[in-house]
Amino acid sequence: MLTVHKIGGTSMSKFEDVLENIVKGQAPEGFFYNRIFVVSAYNSVTNWLLEHKKTGEPGVYDLFVKNKDYRQALEGLLVKLVAINHGMKEIGLDSGVADAFIRKRVDQCLNYLVSLEEVMTSGYVNKQNILLAAREILASIGEAHSAFNSVNILKNSGVESVFVDLCGFHDAEYLTIDERIKRAFAEIDCSKSVPIATGYTKGTEGIMREFDRGYSEVTFSKIAVEVKADEAVIHKEYHLSSADPAIVGVEHSKPVGATNFNVADQLADIGMEAIHPKASKPLEVAGINIRIKNTFEPEHPGTLISNDYMGEVSRVEIISGTDQVIALEVHDPFMVGQVGYDMNLMKVIQRHHISYILKATNANSITMVFWEKDISEALLIELKGLYHKVTHKEAAMVCAMGTNITYPGSLAKAATALFEGGVNVEAVSQSLMQVNMQFVIGRKDYQNAIRVLNQALCLES
């Protein structure tokens, strides 16, 4: 049985646990092979390279874009990467070899950035394309660092391993992402060694351009499809649970044993990704199941995501949501019965390159929920210039999801739980597919709503 494993950044930063719990601990009877590992950069490294994913704090890339001292930032980054190496000596890393590798890679990166800067200032090329190239180059360093170190540690631990460097730092070959992956694995015998692949893959289409920070899961997905894996396993620092343990408490959160790709898509739509939706689609089409496991609880089977799973008992399986959204409503007394009204509004939204998470309508109003970060002043000005009344407000959204929630009264039970918990519902949406009940609520009520829905729908059902 050939499996492909994706190791997240938080897990990689505790590589001693990865080594014992996953590489060695889950090896059948000491046989370490027939497994491919795709690794993320160590925790925080991609933030240092690009920008902080949540706070926006500038990384090397952001300084490069703003024509600030990115060279000094790159030197500071190298110091941090070397410090990570030295912290891993106790688990078998040859820090001298690892330091030499990452120094060379960072030096090459600096040369590339200096050249790109010179070309960009010439004014003869499209600046945006140059910046995208710089982002690709910088992103690749984190995964090259962690993958190289992992191979070194495994070899020093007596496990034969091979470094699969998909970053393309040393070649000018004009390959797509799929072509590079196909070529890299064509000669590897997974029964005799453990391949450790970089989560970043260089390709003509630009993996950052297509998928931005979700690129490592895309590489993982494409590798699994290429090698025809029997299962694709994602190792995280937590279980896929009925609700966020940080909100409801570990004792009130239980792992979800199984779900399907449809529910996984619903989670991704509100930012709670079990796997990046563009990474899950190739696996779904190829019929390769995904298993989500907790790195630090290796004996637990985790959550299996498959095409055809449907719960035997009709119940809600997962409560999730976000408090980082804006509810926007367009109201027009002349909307009723007007053919194409909705389509024209969608064209405005499309021009601003954003999409909604939820949409609810009545005769004279259309309510949509967007990510707060996507709402611009330009969009609001345009909408207010076109429509009778446009309002927007900070909001939160909570969702009750499951593979089989078609039982009579499920929506009523959810709404009652929110009412009894003192949470006012401002908008609601559920499709005929009945896998996701979505409630728009006040932002201050978000955590309370998660708790009351989890208690009423997941723990008491």
Going from N- to C-terminal start, the domains of the chain cover 3-237, 318-459
HSE, CB side, 13 Å, CA atoms: give it for residue 423.
27
Q: pLDDT confidence of 354, banded at 50, 70, 90?
A: very high
pLDDT mean over 238-248: 92
Token pair 């490592």: residue: 216
Q: pLDDT confidence of 237, banded at 50, 70, 90?
A: confident
**Residue whose C-alpha is closest to residue 325's, from 277, 365, 359, 357:** 357
Token pair 């095409």: residue: 307
Judge: domain 3-237, CATH 3.40.1160.10.
yes
HSE, CB side, 13 Å, CA atoms: give it for residue 162.
17
Q: 176 vs 201, 205, 213, 459, CA distance in Å?
A: 9, 6, 19, 47
- 58-113 pLDDT, tens digit per residue, is 999 999 999 999 999 999 999 999 999 999 999 999 999 999 999 999 999 999 99
In one-letter notation, the amino acid at residue 208 is: M
The set of residues, in sequence order, having a beta carbon less than 8 Å from that of 6 and lying 6+ positions away, is 37, 38, 39, 40, 199, 216, 217, 220, 232, 233, 234, 235
CATH architecture of 318-459: 2-Layer Sandwich (3.30)
Distance in angstroms between the alpha carbons of the first and the last residue of the chain:
36
Beta bridge partners of 401: 318, 436
Residue 27: count other Cβ atoms within 10 Å of its Cβ: 15
Of all residues in the chain, the percent with pLDDT exceeding 70 is 98
Q: Are 26 and 256 contacting, i.e. CB atoms less than 8 angstroms apart? A: no
pLDDT mean over 126-130: 88
Predicted local distance difference test score (pLDDT) of residue 26:
61
Q: pLDDT confidence of 452, banded at 50, 70, 90?
A: very high
User: Which segment of 20-24, 133-137, 271-275, 334-338 scores lowest on mean pLDDT?
Assistant: 271-275
d(CA 6, CA 17): 14
Q: What is the mean pLDDT of the chain?
A: 93
Q: Model's pTM, two decimal places?
A: 0.89
Residue 28: count other Cβ atoms within 10 Å of its Cβ: 10
pLDDT of 28 > 70? The answer is no
d(CA 368, CA 365): 10
The set of residues, in sequence order, having a beta carbon less than 8 Å from that of 303 and lying 6+ positions away, is 239, 240, 255, 256, 257, 258, 259, 274, 291, 292
Predicted local distance difference test score (pLDDT) of residue 27:
61
d(CA 242, CA 300): 16
pLDDT of 262 > 70? The answer is yes
In one-letter notation, the amino acid at residue 424 is: N
User: Which segment of 263-272, 302-311, 368-377, 443-452 scores lowest on mean pLDDT?
Assistant: 263-272
